[in-house]
Amino acid sequence: MSIQLHLHSSREAAIRTVAQEMAMLIRNKPHAVLGLATGATPIPLYQELVRLHRVEGLSFRQVTTFNLDEYLGLEPTHPESYWNFMHRNLFDHIDIPAANIHLPGSQVKTEDILSHCEAYEDAIRVAGGIDYQILGIGRTGHIGFNEPGSPADSITRRIHLDEITRQDAAPAFGDLAHVPTHAITMGCGTILAARKIALMAFGEGKAAIVRRALREPVTDEVSASFLQNHPDAHFHLDPASASAL
């Protein structure tokens, strides 16, 4: 098994490819289960899915979604909450029923976190498992918020965010002090259980970590390297993110 590499001529070409794959899946399997990511990387993908919905009638009425992660401690309506991000960038513009949308909670009490995470895992199982998982990659090599040291078989849980991850989020929050210290994330094991995985990475800033994830031995120091052991994992890169390979 090895990660299948897609070297696209541009970010736009990569986005079109991934969006077409998702559209084909949904047309063939209207009850498809999607694993979704937030961050800068998938924003143009969501724009393309909205366009496919508006222009080509792609319907999400029977689709179920599970997001990878959510910051802990934010109101869902906080501009940087992932609940807010997903509604602003995708859910408000397509025909998915609210009941089919799942994100970890942002305001779960400490004593309820374990049962909340177990319920998230159960909901994924009950939905039939994830057909197509979208991923970005953090500079720490995280997928979801599985920071260095996350085991390959980890499940949905509370995680302490790496300082690099918090620094990368600081501009959006205005100040490092405003960036939450913890999040709830699907585990590496949760992600690896998806039937197909598409990791997208764009720009020079991702080149070094993309090389480590793809070309170096599998290690829990780079959780994206676990994808080397997945039977249907794909990296969609632009020339800049592929420049260190």
Binding residues (CB under 6 A) for ligand F6R: these are 37-41, 68-69, 136-138, 142-145
State the minimum distance, in angstroms, from the CB of residue 128 to ligand F6R. 22
Which residue, 29 or 166, has its beta carbon nearer to ligand F6R?
A: 166
Sheet holding 69-71, edge to edge: 69-71, 182-185, 157-160
Which residue, 59 or 152, has its beta carbon nearer to ligand F6R?
A: 152
Which residue, 29 or 212, has its beta carbon nearer to ligand F6R?
A: 212
Which residue, 107 or 167, has its beta carbon nearer to ligand F6R?
A: 167
Q: Are 241 and 18 in contact (CB under 8 A)?
A: no
State the minimum distance, in angstroms, from the CB of residue 126 to ligand F6R. 22
Distance CA 203, CA 241 (A): 5
State the minimum distance, in angstroms, from the CB of residue 134 to ligand F6R. 9
State the minimum distance, in angstroms, from the CB of residue 238 to ligand F6R. 13
Which residue, 142 or 157, has its beta carbon nearer to ligand F6R?
A: 142
State the minimum distance, in angstroms, from the CB of residue 42 to ligand F6R. 7
Closest residue to bound ligand F6R by CB: 136
State the minimum distance, in angstroms, from the CB of residue 85 to ligand F6R. 9
Distance CA 75, CA 147 (A): 23
State the minimum distance, in angstroms, from the CB of residue 106 to ligand F6R. 13
Sign of the Cα torsion 36, 79, 173, 12 reads positive
Which residue, 59 or 244, has its beta carbon nearer to ligand F6R?
A: 244
Which residue, 29 or 78, has its beta carbon nearer to ligand F6R?
A: 78
